[in-house]
């Protein structure tokens, strides 16, 4: 049974993602994240509606030009998820599935969600993911295994359960949720409060999801999303469309795009995705990484478990567990430290608070057009905003 309307909520691009911008433009295996999502869910709906902000409507239109989707525009950039749904109410005529444009998971759980919700004659069904460590999201409160409330960001040690709600919310009659939202005043947790209202007034079910999941919430999550894509969506017939020197070693699943060149004695260890017009210079090592279009990895570099945006240029560098923004350049000998000597996980400041990344290895994250001088080095987890210049030989210990 097809759902009448699938809403993909794509209006936000929060400052928690800084110094990176425009989450949905990030390409994994050459395709924007939101396109991966629509490809995964379109089979389950009669229509797919993408909810954008006014600022990103044109960008999303370009990204999804080949898809048969409709668009709704939020009335307020700061209205959050609740405003996104209310701005789309003209599209909601029956069953409703709400999804987040930042998340990938096993979409095969959607028909299970529909079947379970309808079999229980419930008015609301949703998916929650078991978490072993604290995640800043909405936690499900249960009574005798029945969901009764969503507690948004309760804080570590105060979680009512081990289950965090994913944004996979199904209403056999979407107007029930619209009505609950409309009765509430605008607030940061209006969406979650409306969900709780529905749970307290109607039979509801929660599907406990134990499968793989990746989200783009913070900038370092780009690396987790890359891992997810590499685990589940690597091209089965791995193509090598570029020019590869006879002495280069290509191991595992490696895609090499058109007009790209791989030099002498290069080793590429998959999974890797290499875009178009990329140069990988002689004697370089690239493993488990994404090189977007027009990247230059000069001779003698090592790139490990990293994501290099368009136009990045390297020259005898070590780049580990890092995300480099568009047109970032690194002078010869510059390196990214990615591991603490005390082996503790890496924390990083976001909006005046130290956030736990839960990562033992995390290198450098840069915005666009960052320039790093020769022989400079950066501490683990450092973030550099757009246009920052790091002087030759400088040691960067904190964000700039």
- The DSSP bridge partners found for residue 52 are 73
Position 234 confidence tier, pLDDT thresholds 50, 70, 90: low
- Please, what's the b/e burial string for 323-333 (b: 16 or more CB within 10 A of its CB; e: otherwise)? bbbbbbbbbeb
Residues 318-368: tens digit of each pLDDT: 999 999 999 999 999 999 999 999 999 999 999 888 999 999 999 999 999
CA proximity to 109, closest of 180, 64, 23, 44: 44
pLDDT (0 to 100) of residue 235: 54
Structure-token pair, residue 126: 């949703």
The 10 Å CB-count burial string (b at 16+, else e) for 227-260 is bbbbeebbeeebeeebebeeebebeeebbbbeeb
Contacts of 377 (CB under 8 A, 6+ apart): 334, 335, 336, 337, 395, 396
Mean local confidence (pLDDT), 274-278: 96
pLDDT at 221 over 60: yes
Domain with CATH 3.90.550.10 in the chain: 3-215
What is the rounded distance in angstroms from the CA atom of residue 138 to the CA atom of residue 152?
Answer: 4
Percentage of the residues of the chain whose pLDDT score is greater than 90:
80
Q: Mean pLDDT in the chain?
A: 93
The CATH T-level fold of domain 231-396 is UDP N-Acetylglucosamine Acyltransferase; domain 1 (2.160.10)
CATH topology of domain 3-215: Spore Coat Polysaccharide Biosynthesis Protein SpsA; Chain A (3.90.550)
Q: What pLDDT sits at residue 54?
A: 86
Tell me the pairing of strands 146-152 and 138-143.
antiparallel
pLDDT at 289 over 80: yes
- Beta strands across the sheet bearing 243-244: 243-244, 261-262, 279-280, 296-297, 313-314, 329-330, 371-372, 389-390
**What is the arithmetic mean of pLDDT over 257-286?**
96
More confident residue, 12 or 77: 12
What sign for the dihedral angle of Cα 174, 176, 177, 183? positive
Q: What's the full length of the chain, in residues?
A: 400
pLDDT band with cut points at 50, 70 and 90 for residue 12: confident
Please give the pLDDT value at position 353: 86
Domain limits, CATH 2.160.10.10, in the chain: 231-396
């Amino acid at each position: 049974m097809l759902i009448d309307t699938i809403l993909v909520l794509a209006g936000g691009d929060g400052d928690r993602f800084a110094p990176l911008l425009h989450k949905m433009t990030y390409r994994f295996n050459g395709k924007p994240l939101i396109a991966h999502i629509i490809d995964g869910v379109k089979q389950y709906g009669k229509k797919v509606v993408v909810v954008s902000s006014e600022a990103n409507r044109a960008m999303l239109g370009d990204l999804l030009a080949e898809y048969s989707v409709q668009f709704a525009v939020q009335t307020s950039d700061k209205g959050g998820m609740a405003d996104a749904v209310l701005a789309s109410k003209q599209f909601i005529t029956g069953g409703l599935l709400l999804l987040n444009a930042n998340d990938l998971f096993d979409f095969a759980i959607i028909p299970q969600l529909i079947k379970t919700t309808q079999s229980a004659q419930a008015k609301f069904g949703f998916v929650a993911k078991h978490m072993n460590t604290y995640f800043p999201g909405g936690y499900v409160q249960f009574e005798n295994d029945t969901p009764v409330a969503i507690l948004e960001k309760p804080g570590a040690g105060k979680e009512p359960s081990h289950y965090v709600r994913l944004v996979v919310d199904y209403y056999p009659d979407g107007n029930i949720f619209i009505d609950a939202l409309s009765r509430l005043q605008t607030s940061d947790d209006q969406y979650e409060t409306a969900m709780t209202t529905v749970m307290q007034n109607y039979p509801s079910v929660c599907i406990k999801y134990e499968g793989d999941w990746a989200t783009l919430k913070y900038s370092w999550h780009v690396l987790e999303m890359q891992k997810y894509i590499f685990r589940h969506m690597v091209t089965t017939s791995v193509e090598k469309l570029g020019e590869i020197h006879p002495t280069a070693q290509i191991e595992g699943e490696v895609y090499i795009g058109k007009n790209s060149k791989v030099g002498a004695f290069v080793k590429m260890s998959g999974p890797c995705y290499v875009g178009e017009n990329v140069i990988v210079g002689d004697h370089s090592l690239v493993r488990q990484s994404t090189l977007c279009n027009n990247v230059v990895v000069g001779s003698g570099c090592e790139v490990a478990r990293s994501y290099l945006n368009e136009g990045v240029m390297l020259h005898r560098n070590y780049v580990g567990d890092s995300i480099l923004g568009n047109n970032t350049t690194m002078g010869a000998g510059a390196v990214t430290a990615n591991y603490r000597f005390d082996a503790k996980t890496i924390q990083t400041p976001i909006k005046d608070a130290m956030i736990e990344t839960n990562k033992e290895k995390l290198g450098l994250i840069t915005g666009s057009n960052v320039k790093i001088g020769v022989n400079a080095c950066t501490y683990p987890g450092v973030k550099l905003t757009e246009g920052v210049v790091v002087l030759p030989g400088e040691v960067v210990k904190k964000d700039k």
